[in-house]
Structures are given as structure tokens and as C-alpha cells.
């Protein structure tokens, strides 16, 4: 009910607000319309870069490698990733795609708070909701920490972005800056601290602005007493408690009632716009502090994973384990071991390993680990058994991999059987489009004929051409390949797995011709590309020739020619291009009347990330991430960010459909930091991929500056619109979430109010949680129909688990489909909000008389406890200090568990900072310092402090 009201309200808002001046109700979310204002996107990115760089600097100091980057506001994604990567001696090509993608997800979910929680005061610290706002932050931080603990980094990022929004808004919407504070309000991220000096409900806080000038509208009394307040905000009513400040701006009706005016610092044009940059800078520092709290709770390594600072890929296998698969399993094992053993300890070592077995009726469990040995053990433990009875649960296994793997992963599926769960095809397609992961199928023993042969009534275990088509379609939707080989030849085809596990692999060109026809294709090779490989799949009768930029040609009959080394296995031809003379315009000419595909990859830092976005007019938000497919005949806007070079100019971004061929040109609008909003108008129906062309003016790449890149995932416009209305992003174990959704028929990108029809609805989740959904929805009038999907989280679900729900709507003749993909994290309510405390037992000293500090040791002993209602100490680690830490447990006189820490270090490193973390992620800091004595008198002084204690003093 509440949701319905919100919807209606929002519709009204949009209509009303379209007519008004563009004034937002928080820092602007993504892009600044006021030339020089700082957005949530800027604040989030700056904070992430600073904290990541600081963590890398600490790791460098610990491990003894050089870190020379200056940490200031001029950091870029490239600079930080490069500085963080200089650990090894490797000269591998650097890719920032993962890091950029992670940052983008964080600023998109940050911006989404303005849409989803538009009318929630506490999500924006409006209306003096300080306790409510703090609860939003701390509950979110607990959820992030538990996701990270479960290594669910993707889910962690979604929540982290949202939490940052609320935290950042505090600095714009309260009078913290006006009170003269120069550092963040640390109590906002510490649930065990009291929020002090809040202006009470009846305390007046503002007076009228004079002639539109709000510079001195905060009451002097309030300021003198150092009382904290925030502005009231309402779109519809001017009601507010007497004497209270408003947010301000043309959307805020309360600001037109006495006291008139507002105090927001959302942008330079706001009521307190002259303090905008100060507020934004403090919001950056506050975000850095929040990230530091998470880093202390989860440790450096997991923190960097959460930030997405890994340039290596994941190794992800989905394997059929029925009887006939023993050769395939052995090969999957061989190739993965080879990759692991050759890359272990290098920067190309996969950042995670994922394994999903499937057969019939079972699939899973999914093993996801960052430990290569655990993966090896898991793949070693796979046995091929049972079988004969095709088909298998292939797509269910693939669904688990697609929701667990980071976006843009490459997933390899090994099978020799058709899918029993083919009804999941549309779900898998939705997950592929939403994750942009690439799925390549290694299909063994596909029958050449269209019909499965039957031998004495027993169906042989083999796949027909029709069965294989499902896999080909999914491969095509994702930009992967369907490789069909005999079991004997599989080991030659798995080279594609090794190719894809190289660092910084980019797609230069890809096309699928179906039905096939003879054609010529050209593509540009730039100077940044290395180790170029071309793949051509198709019938054995297919012939081709390839021509280099220098006019040299090699035909398909030459296995080792002037341009490339060619190997043919099953339907796959792999061309490894020679390193010489690569730059310039190449041509591939294919002669075949059967379906075929061509794919050209290489290694390069220069690549791009992209996300479909939609505009929001009005008070809340400018753009947000758009789930699902764009609407046929409508406009599609894509945010494109070029990675890997600060010297790139984007010339052209198009949507390309090879079957036409159709190419739709986008118009580009630069939005800073190498990003562009690309708008396509009247997008026709089709199977498009995004192509980008540009120039790189880097002098080091003088050879050839034009470049082209292509996205892997297909973009398929749809005439069906599926939108969801939910403000749940996390769910407690044992609870049921309801998701209301609307299905609409559209034409030319807008709802067709005269349309009627019945849509088939499917709702699937990757955890097999109980879920209800209507099986159909019928549009009777107005072009829209509404439904509700429920999802019940079992009470046994662990905090930090995440669940991905896909809601699909298909039209009656099954020619069109659209979907929404929603992720929820499971988060149990946290009741232990107190940080571990530390009591120093003893500290020994260092004598300064000695010249050789390295020959002397000092020692620090402390007792750490988590309080009576605490969840218990989980870990204690050295945050600063160069010594050895030992911990043991004891039971105190009151029966409380005590973690006894003893730290010893050389007198060259005379201070220590320990971080104690309890089971839900509360962090306590314990500091000790050896005090230099001059001999004779023994002085044992220890310096320890608890953030919790210290801060309550600071904020008094």
C-alpha cells in the first residue's frame, strides 16, 4: 500500500517538477549541471581512490616494495591501480576495468538512493533525523562487513554505495560545516556512541533569509551552543515545526514558510552554496573514514577485493559430472592446474576460482574461493558417475555461476548433453545481459545430424544439433563461443581458456553471421594491442582469408603463414597473429553459407565499461542505472567510461547489429573523468553490440593512434517494459520480501495505453528460496498490469549471503521478453553494537642509550574483551607496527572471555596500533608505545586509547 502511494506520489512529482527549475535534494547524484559542483559520484570516487591508495601504501611498507604515489585529490583510477600494481616485477598489461566497474556500481547505487528512498528523511538526514540516519548507516555497514566476510564482494558494493549516500548527505543537509567543524562527525559510523548536542524538537534553529540571502539564517544562539540541526524538506506540504530550518530550493515547500530559505549545500547554487565545496570535501573525508572502518574490520586483502582492485580474471568452470564426462573433467582439471601453476604468485593469478558441478537431478554446490588449493581439491574431487539418462541441469548450474562471478567474468561450461532445464533460457539470458559475463561452451560429441540416433531403444548420450542450438544462442548473447569438438580433441580447444585468462584481454571485433553468408569484415589494430588472437567458428567447409594492414594475405589453407599460426579443432579455428606489423586496418573475408562467428581479441589497457542508464527529471536524481532491456523505438542512454588511458578521445559510439547490418549512431556528451553519456534515439529492434572508436594521443603509442573496441554482451531492445517497485535491498533471515512490479506494452519507447494482451511471468532466484509469482499478467486497460513476487529467506540463511531474483515477462507469441534483475543481501539484525575494548596490562621500555635499536626489544601486553553482550573477539591484527603479535584466550573473573595479546617489536619500531574486531565487525583500536628511558629509573608508560572513548570527548 505504502509502495502504491509512493508510486502515485512520484508520478505527480514528476509531472509537477518537470515544469520547475532543476534543483536537486542532495549533492547532485552523478553529473553536475552547475559547472563546478561536486556530485555524489565525485565524492565516492575520490574517497575510494584515496583509501585504496592508502591501503596499498601500507601494504607496500609492510612488504617492503616502493610506493611513490602522492595521495591527494588528483588521483585517477589509472594512477592508483598502477601504483598498487608495482609490487611484482611483471610487465603484464594493466587493466583497470574491474576497478572502474566496481567504482561505477558504488556510485550508481549511491545515486539510486535519491530515487528509491526519495521520500525517506533518514536516508538524507533531513528533518533532524540524526538517529535514524545513523541507524541507516550502521545497519548498512554491518551488512557490508558480513557480505565481505562471505566473500560476496558484489553484494557488499551495492550496500556500500547506498550507505555512502546517506553519510555524504549529512554534510550538505546539516549545519555541521557552519558550526566550524573541520573533520567528519565520527559518531555517525559508530553505533555505540551517543549523538550529542542535537537541537531539541522545540529548539528554534533558523530565521528568515533576507532578500534571498541565506548566509546568516542559522540562529546565533544555536551556533554559539554548538547545537546540531538539519533542514526540513517536503515536496508537498509547507508544514514544519516552528522556527526550524528548511533544506531550501524550489522543490522544498517548507522553505517558503517562516523561517524562509534553507541551509543545504547541495551545489554551488544552493541556499548555503558558498559552503558547498567545504561540505563536499568533508563528505570525502567522512567516506574515507567509513572505508577505513570497513578495512579494519575485514583486513587489507579483502578490502582491496571489495574495492575491485584486482586486474586478474576469475577462473570459472561449470562442469557436467555424469558418467560420460570423465575425459572432459580430466581436461578441465589439466587446463586449470596449468593456469594455476603458471600464474601462482604473479599478478595474473586468478582473483577467484569458481566451480559448479551439475548432473541430473542435482547441481551445485558452488565453490567460490580465492585459494587455488581449495579449487584444486574441489576439481580433483569431481567424479563422473551415473548417466546415460540425458539431459542434465546445465542451466541451473550456470545460473549459480552467473550470479556468483563478478560482472564481466568469463565462464566455461563443459557438457556433452542437452539441458533438461531449458525453461531457464530467458533467465540465463537476463543474467548474462545484467552481469555482462561471457559464457563459452565446450561441447563434446555433438552429433552432426539433426536427429539423435537411437540404438536398440537406448538413447545414446549425445547432443543433437537442435540441442546444441540453445548453447549457441546463449554463447552468442554473451559474446562467448560454442566450441564443438570430439572428446579426443578437447585438449586442443581449451587453449581458448588459457587465452582468456591472460591479463587485460579486450575484444577488438566480433560478429556472428546466422544464417551465414560470405562476407568481408575489417577492424583496426592499434599500437597498444599485444598478443592478438582471432577465432573463427563454423562448419568444416568454411574457408577464409585474412589481410594485414600492410596488404599481406594468408588463407585458411596455410597453417603457418606470414600473418598467423592457425590451429583447427572441431568447429574452431584459432589464429595467433604474429607480432610484426600489426597496426592499421585489417580485413577478414569469410566464405560460408552456414552460420559462423568471428572474434578478434588482444591484450590492452585501453578498454571501456558501459551501463545503460535512465534519466530522472525532478527533485531526486539525474540518472540511475537501468535494469533490463531498453525499449524498442525509444531512446537509450549509455554511460561509457574509457579505461586505461588519460589521453584517449572517443570519436564514435554505435550500436551494431551484424544481421542487418544496422548501425545506430549515438550522440556523445562528456561528463568528465573519461566518461560520456551516449544517447541513441529511435533504437530499432535487433541484436546489438556496443562499438567504440577513438584516438589515443599518447606519444608512446605513436605507431597507430586509432583504436576500436567492442562490448561482448548483446543489447536487445524490447517492447515490453518491466519495472519493479521495492525499497528493500536487504532481508532478514526468516523474512518474506514482496516485490511489486509493473508490466507494460510500449510503442516507440512509451507505454501504449490502448494495448491489451497477456504476458507470461517467470520469477527465478539463484538460491532456490521459496518464491511466489503470478504465472501470467493481463493488460486490460491503460497499457499496464501490476503483480507481486514474494521471496522468503530461510531462517537458516547466513548474514552476508546474497540472492538474485529475476522477474521476466514474455509476450503471448514468445517473440519478445523483458526482465528485471534484483539483488538482495541477507542481513540479520545486529544487536552487538559495542566495539571491543582494550586494557593495557604492561609495556616495557626501550633505552635510548643504546646506538643499535635493532638489538633491543620491547613488549606490549593487553587484554581485549567484547563486553557482556558482545559477539566475541574474532581477530586482532597489527594495523601499524613492525613486530610480532601473539594472542591467547583466558577467562576473566567475571566469566568473560578475554583475548590476551602480547606484541613484541624491536626498539626501532616503538609504537603499535592493533585492531580488534568482533564477530559482527565492530572495530576497537588498541595503541601502545614504548617510552624511551635514559636508564636508571624504569618508566613504564603506555599510551592506549579507545576511539570510542576519545571521540565522545571530542564531540562533547
Residue placing its CB nearer to ligand NAG in the complex, 253 or 530? 530
CA distance 375 to 555: 41
Q: How far is the CB of 529 from ligand NAG (least distance, A)?
A: 11
Find the binding residues for ligand NAG in span 521-550 (CB under 6 A).
Answer: 530-531, 548, 550
**Whole-number minimum distance, CB 841 to ligand NAG, in Å?**
32
Strand partners, 446: 463
Total number of residues shown for the chain:
956
From the list 198, 552, 751, 840, which residue makes contact with ligand NAG (rule: CB under 6 A)? 552
In the complex with ligand NAG, the residue whose CB is nearer, 82 or 277, is 277
Read off the DSSP letter of residue 424. G
Least distance from ligand NAG to the Cβ atom of residue 500, Å: 11
State which residue, 36 or 454, has the beta carbon closest to ligand NAG. 36
Taking the complex as a whole, the smallest distance from the CB of residue 281 to ligand NAG amounts, in Å, to: 4
CB of 823 to ligand NAG, least distance (A): 33
Q: Which of residues 436-455 bind ligand NAG (CB under 6 A)?
A: none
Lookup: cell for 547: 589481410
Q: How far is CA 822 from the centre of its chain?
A: 14
Nearest residue (CB) to ligand NAG, 277 versus 334: 277
Q: Hey, is 600 helix, strand or coil?
A: strand
Could you identify the residue written with the cell 587493466?
95
Q: Do the Cβ atoms of 67 and 83 come closer than 8 Å?
A: yes
Q: Residue 367 Cβ, how far from ligand NAG at the closest point, in Å?
A: 26
H or E element in which residue 701 lies: none
Count the neighbouring beta carbons within 10 Å of the beta carbon of residue 33: 13
Neighbours of 610 (CB within 10 A): 22
Question: How many CA atoms does the CB half-sphere of 355 hold within 13 Å?
Answer: 22
Least Å from the CB of residue 102 to ligand NAG: 23
- Smallest separation (angstroms) from ligand NAG to the CB of 323: 36
Contacts of 663 (CB under 8 A, 6+ apart): 654, 655, 656, 657, 691
Q: Total residues contacting ligand NAG (rule CB under 6 A)?
A: 17
CB of 611 to ligand NAG, least distance (A): 26
Please give the backbone phi and psi of residue 131, each rounded to the nearest 5 degrees, phi first: -70, -45
Contacts of 475 (CB under 8 A, 6+ apart): 439, 440, 441, 481, 482
> Binding of ligand NAG at residue 54 (CB under 6 A)?
no
DSSP 8-state symbol, 199: P
**Does 562 interact with ligand NAG (rule: CB under 6 A)?**
yes
Q: Which is nearer to ligand NAG, 579 or 814 (CB)?
A: 579
Is the CB of residue 510 less than 8 Å from the CB of residue 523? no
Closer Cβ to ligand NAG, 134 or 276, answer by number: 276
Q: Which residues contact 144 (CB under 8 A, 6 or more apart)?
A: 156, 159, 160, 163, 294, 306
**CB of 599 vs ligand NAG, minimal distance in Å:** 17
Segment near ligand NAG (CB under 6 A); pick from 231-239, 415-423, 573-581, 870-878: 573-581
Among 581, 740, 788, 871, the residue binding ligand NAG under the rule CB under 6 A is 581
DSSP 8-class letter at 277:
H
Site string for ligand NAG, 231-270 (x = CB under 6 A): ----------------------------------------
CA neighbor of 301 nearest in space, from 356, 349, 365, 355: 349
**CB of 336: closest distance to ligand NAG in angstroms?**
16
C-beta closer to ligand NAG: residue 581 or 902: 581
β-bridge pairing 410-415 and 438-444: parallel
CB of 349 to ligand NAG, least distance (A): 13
Does the protein bind ligand NAG through residue 182 (CB under 6 A)? yes
CA distances to 747, 842, 858, 940 from 902, rounded to whole Å, are: 70, 9, 11, 16
Nearest distance from residue 550's CB to ligand NAG, in Å? 5
How far is 26 from 767, CA to CA, in rounded Å?
36
Stretch touching ligand NAG by CB under 6 A, among 78-86, 113-121, 574-582, 590-598: 574-582
**DSSP H or E segment with residue 325:** none
> Which 3 state secondary structure label does DSSP give 52?
helix
Output the smallest distance, CB 498 to ligand NAG, in A: 8
Cell of 450: 539433426
36 binds ligand NAG (CB under 6 A): yes
Phi-psi region of 448 (alpha: psi -120 to 50; beta: other; left: phi over 0): alpha
From 100-108, 408-416, 578-586, 617-625, span contacting ligand NAG (CB under 6 A): 578-586
Q: Which residue do the cell numbers 549425445 mark?
A: 462
Residue whose CB is less far from ligand NAG, 36 or 74: 36
Phi, psi of 254 (to 5 degrees): -65, -25
Q: How would you list the strands of the sheet with 911-918, edge to edge?
A: 873-880, 911-918, 923-929
491 vs 581, beta carbon nearer ligand NAG: 581
Q: Which of 448, 579, 852, 953 binds ligand NAG (CB under 6 A)?
A: 579
Q: Are strands 553-555 and 543-547 parallel, antiparallel or unpaired?
A: antiparallel
47 vs 419, beta carbon nearer ligand NAG? 47
- Residue 371 in contact with ligand NAG, rule: CB under 6 A: no
Rule CB under 6 A: say whether 183 interacts with ligand NAG: yes
Residue (503 or 556) nearer to ligand NAG, CB: 503
Residue 334 found at the interface with ligand NAG (CB under 6 A): no
Contact set for ligand NAG, span 273-292 (CB under 6 A): 277, 281-282, 285
Q: Residues 6 or more apart from 249 whose CB is under 8 A from it?
A: 23, 24, 25, 255, 262, 264, 266, 270, 271
Contacts of 160 (CB under 8 A, 6+ apart): 106, 109, 140, 144, 294, 306
The CA–CA distances, whole Å, from 306 to 12, 253, 295, 311 equal 39, 40, 9, 13
Smaller CB separation from ligand NAG, 285 or 568: 285
The minimum distance between CB 914 and ligand NAG, in angstroms, equals 22
Q: Which is nearer to ligand NAG, 90 or 839 (CB)?
A: 90
* Sheet with 553-555: strands ordered across: 519-525, 584-591, 543-547, 553-555
Q: Which stretch binds ligand NAG (CB under 6 A): 6-14, 193-201, 410-418, 575-583?
A: 575-583
What are the helix (H) ranges across 344-407? Answer: 372-380, 394-404
Q: Least distance in Å: CB of 204 to ligand NAG?
A: 29
Give the shortest CB-387-to-ligand NAG separation in angstroms: 36
Return the residue matching grid coordinates 542481513: 827
Among residues 72 and 663, whose Cβ is nearest to ligand NAG?
72
Q: Which is nearer to ligand NAG, 238 or 673 (CB)?
A: 673
Nearest distance from C-beta of residue 141 to ligand NAG, angstroms? 20
In this complex, which beta carbon is closest to ligand NAG, that of residue 36 or of residue 202?
36
146 binds ligand NAG (CB under 6 A): no
List the one residue out of 876, 878, 895, 896 whose CA is nearest residue 887: 876
User: Of 466-525, which residues contact ligand NAG (CB under 6 A)?
Assistant: 502
Q: Is 150 helix (H, G, I), strand (E, B) or coil?
A: coil
70 scored as a contact of ligand NAG (CB under 6 A): no
Among 196, 580, 682, 753, binds ligand NAG (CB under 6 A): 580
Residues lying near ligand NAG in the complex (CB under 6 A): 36, 182-183, 277, 281-282, 285, 502, 530-531, 548, 550, 552, 562, 579-581
Amino acid at each position: 500500500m505504502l509502495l502504491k502511494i509512493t508510486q502515485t506520489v512520484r508520478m505527480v512529482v514528476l509531472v509537477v517538477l518537470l515544469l520547475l527549475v532543476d534543483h536537486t535534494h542532495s549533492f547532485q547524484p552523478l553529473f553536475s549541471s552547475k559547472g563546478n559542483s561536486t556530485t555524489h559520484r565525485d565524492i565516492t570516487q575520490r574517497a575510494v581512490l584515496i583509501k585504496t591508495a592508502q591501503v596499498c601504501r601500507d601494504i607496500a611498507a609492510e612488504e617492503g616494495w616502493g610506493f611513490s604515489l602522492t595521495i591527494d585529490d588528483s588521483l585517477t583510477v589509472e594512477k592508483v591501480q598502477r601504483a598498487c600494481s608495482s609490487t611484482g616485477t611483471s610487465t603484464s598489461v594493466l587493466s583497470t576495468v574491474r576497478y572502474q566497474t566496481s567504482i561505477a556500481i558504488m556510485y550508481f547505487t549511491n545515486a539510486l538512493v535519491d530515487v528509491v528512498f526519495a521520500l525517506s528523511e533518514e536516508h538524507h538526514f533531513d528533518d533532524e533525523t540524526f538517529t535514524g540516519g545513523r541507524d541507516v548507516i550502521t545497519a548498512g555497514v554491518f551488512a557490508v562487513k558480513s557480505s565481505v566476510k562471505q566473500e560476496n564482494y558484489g553484494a557488499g558494493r551495492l550496500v556500500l554505495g547506498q550507505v555512502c549516500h546517506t553519510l555524504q548527505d549529512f554534510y550538505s543537509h546539516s549545519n555541521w560545516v557552519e558550526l566550524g567543524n573541520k573533520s567528519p562527525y565520527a559518531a555517525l559510523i559508530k553505533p555505540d556512541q551517543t549523538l550529542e548536542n542535537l537541537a531539541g524538537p522545540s529548539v528554534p534553529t533558523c530565521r528568515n533569509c533576507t532578500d534571498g540571502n541565506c548566509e546568516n539564517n542559522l540562529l546565533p544562539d544555536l551556533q554559539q551552543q554548538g547545537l546540531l540541526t538539519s533542514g526540513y524538506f517536503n515536496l508537498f506540504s509547507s508544514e514544519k515545526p516552528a522556527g526550524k530550518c528548511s533544506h531550501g530550493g524550489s522543490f522544498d515547500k517548507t522553505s517558503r514558510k517562516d523561517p524562509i530559505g534553507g541551509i543545504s549545500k547541495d551545489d554551488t547554487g544552493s541556499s548555503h552554496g558558498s559552503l558547498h565545496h567545504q561540505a563536499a570535501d568533508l563528505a570525502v573525508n567522512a567516506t574515507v573514514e567509513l572505508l577505513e572502518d570497513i578495512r579494519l574490520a575485514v583486513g587489507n586483502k579483502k578490502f582491496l577485493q571489495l574495492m575491485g582492485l584486482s586486474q586478474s580474471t576469475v577462473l570459472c568452470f561449470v562442469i557436467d559430472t555424469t558418467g560420460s564426462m570423465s575425459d572432459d573433467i580430466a581436461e578441465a582439471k589439466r587446463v586449470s592446474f596449468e593456469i594455476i601453476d603458471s600464474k601462482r604468485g604473479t599478478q595474473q593469478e586468478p582473483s577467484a576460482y569458481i566451480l559448479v558441478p551439475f548432473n541430473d537431478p542435482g547441481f551445485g554446490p558452488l565453490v567460490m574461493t580465492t585459494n587455488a588449493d581449495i579449487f584444486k581439491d574441489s576439481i580433483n574431487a569431481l567424479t563422473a558417475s551415473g548417466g546415460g539418462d540425458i539431459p542434465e541441469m546445465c542451466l541451473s548450474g550456470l545460473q549459480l555461476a552467473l550470479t556468483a562471478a563478478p560482472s564481466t567474468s568469463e565462464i566455461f561450461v563443459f557438457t556433452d548433453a542437452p539441458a533438461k532445464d531449458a525453461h531457464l533460457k530467458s533467465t540465463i539470458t537476463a543474467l548474462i545481459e545484467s552481469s555482462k559475463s561471457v559464457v563459452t561452451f565446450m561441447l563434446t560429441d555433438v552429433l552432426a545430424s539433426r536427429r539423435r540416433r537411437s540404438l536398440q531403444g537406448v538413447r545414446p548420450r549425445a547432443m543433437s544439433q537442435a540441442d546444441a542450438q540453445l548453447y549457441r544462442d546463449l554463447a552468442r548473447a554473451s559474446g562467448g563461443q560454442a566450441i564443438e569438438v570430439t572428446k579426443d580433441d578437447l585438449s586442443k580447444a581449451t587453449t581458448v581458456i588459457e587465452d582468456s585468462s591472460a591479463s587485460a584481454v579486450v575484444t577488438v571485433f566480433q560478429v556472428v553471421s546466422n544464417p551465414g553468408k560470405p562476407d568481408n569484415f575489417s577492424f583496426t589494430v592499434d599500437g597498444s594491442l599485444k598478443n592478438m588472437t582471432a577465432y573463427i567458428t563454423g562448419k568444416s567447409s568454411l574457408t577464409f582469408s585474412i589481410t594485414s594492414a600492410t596488404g599481406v594475405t594468408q588463407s585458411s589453407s596455410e597453417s603457418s603463414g606470414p600473418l598467423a599460426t592457425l590451429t583447427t579443432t572441431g568447429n574452431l579455428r584459432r589464429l595467433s597473429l604474429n607480432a610484426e606489423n600489426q597496426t592499421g586496418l585489417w580485413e577478414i573475408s569469410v566464405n560460408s553459407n552456414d552460420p559462423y562467428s568471428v572474434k578478434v581479441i588482444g591484450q590492452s589497457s585501453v578498454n571501456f565499461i558501459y551501463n545503460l542508464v535512465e534519466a530522472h527529471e525532478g527533485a531526486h536524481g539525474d540518472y540511475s542505472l537501468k535494469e533490463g532491456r531498453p525499449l524498442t523505438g525509444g531512446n537509450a542512454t549509455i554511460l561509457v567510461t574509457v579505461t586505461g588511458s588519460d589521453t584517449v578521445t572517443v570519436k564514435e559510439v554505435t550500436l551494431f547489429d551484424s544481421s542487418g547490418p544496422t548501425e545506430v549512431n549515438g550522440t556523445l556528451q562528456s561528463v568528465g573523468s573519461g566518461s560520456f553519456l551516449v544517447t541513441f534515439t529511435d533504437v530499432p529492434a535487433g541484436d546489438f553490440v556496443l562499438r567504440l572508436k577513438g584516438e589515443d594521443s599518447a606519444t608512446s603509442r605513436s605507431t597507430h593512434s586509432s583504436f576500436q573496441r567492442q562490448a561482448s554482451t548483446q543489447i536487445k531492445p524490447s517492447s515490453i517494459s518491466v519495472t519493479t517497485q521495492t525499497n528493500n535491498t536487504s532481508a532478514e533471515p526468516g523474512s518474506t520480501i514482496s516485490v511489486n512490479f509493473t508490466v507494460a506494452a510500449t510503442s516507440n519507447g512509451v507505454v501504449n495505453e490502448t494495448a491489451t494482451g497477456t504476458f507470461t511471468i517467470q520469477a527465478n532466484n539463484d538460491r532456490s528460496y521459496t518464491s511466489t509469482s503470478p504465472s501470467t499478467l493481463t493488460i486490460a486497460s491503460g497499457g499496464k498490469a501490476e503483480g507481486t513476487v514474494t521471496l522468503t529467506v530461510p531462517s537458516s540463511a547466513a548474514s552476508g549471503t546474497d540472492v538474485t531474483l529475476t522477474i521476466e515477462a514474455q509476450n503471448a507469441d514468445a517473440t519478445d521478453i523483458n526482465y528485471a534483475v534484483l539483488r538482495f543481501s541477507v542481513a540479520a539484525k545486529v544487536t552487538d553494537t559495542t566495539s571491543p575494548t582494550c586494557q593495557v596490562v604492561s609495556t616495557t621500555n626501550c633505552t635510548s642509550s643504546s646506538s643499535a635499536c635493532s638489538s633491543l626489544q620491547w613488549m606490549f601486553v593487553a587484554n581485549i574483551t567484547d563486553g557482556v553482550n558482545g559477539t566475541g573477539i574474532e581477530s586482532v591484527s597489527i594495523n601499524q607496527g613492525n613486530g610480532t603479535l601473539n594472542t591467547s584466550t583466558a577467562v576473566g573473573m567475571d566469566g568473560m572471555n578475554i583475548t590476551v595479546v602480547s606484541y613484541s617489536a624491536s626498539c626501532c619500531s616503538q609504537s603499535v596500533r592493533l585492531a580488534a574486531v568482533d564477530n559482527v565487525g565492530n572495530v576497537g583500536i588498541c595503541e601502545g608505545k614504548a617510552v624511551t628511558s635514559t636508564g636508571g629509573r624504569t618508566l613504564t608508560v603506555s599510551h592506549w586509547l579507545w576511539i570510542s572513548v576519545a571521540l565522545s570527548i571530542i564531540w562533547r
